[in-house]
Amino acid sequence: MTAVLNYLQEVKSIIRLGAQKAQSGGKKAKKNPKGAEPEEKATVENCVIFVGLEFPEYKKKVLEILNTFEFVDDVIQSNEYINVIRNEVKGKEGGLAMKFAAFVLEEAKTLGKDMAL
């Protein structure tokens, strides 16, 4: 449950930064010529968040693979998981799988293996 709360806090921060960027136009404001009226900034009043009910298949596969390896003090004991993931997850999802594995292993270090996997 802690992992979910941390994730939601991170997403909230990302949403706020995105809203600020959208309000400012996303680029440096151009200087107005003398006598010109300043542009009115648009306001963002709504936000939509999509929630998936389950992981995509490649993420499920990564979690299954990582669960087969030994962890000591919440740190994986072999780098062989890299080769296994590369062999199991092909194509465009291969790179995403490696990034997800790195994220999960970092979460295991900070939150504990049982919370991350």
Instruction: Say how many C-beta atoms besides its own lie within 10 A of residue 6's C-beta.
Output: 14
- In tens, the pLDDT along 53-112 reads 898 999 999 999 999 999 999 999 999 999 999 999 999 999 999 999 999 999 899 888
Lowest mean pLDDT among 13-22, 23-32, 86-95, 98-107: 23-32
Task: Find out whether 66 and 81 touch, Cβ atoms under 8 Å.
Answer: yes
pLDDT greater than 70 at residue 16: yes
pLDDT greater than 70 at residue 34: no
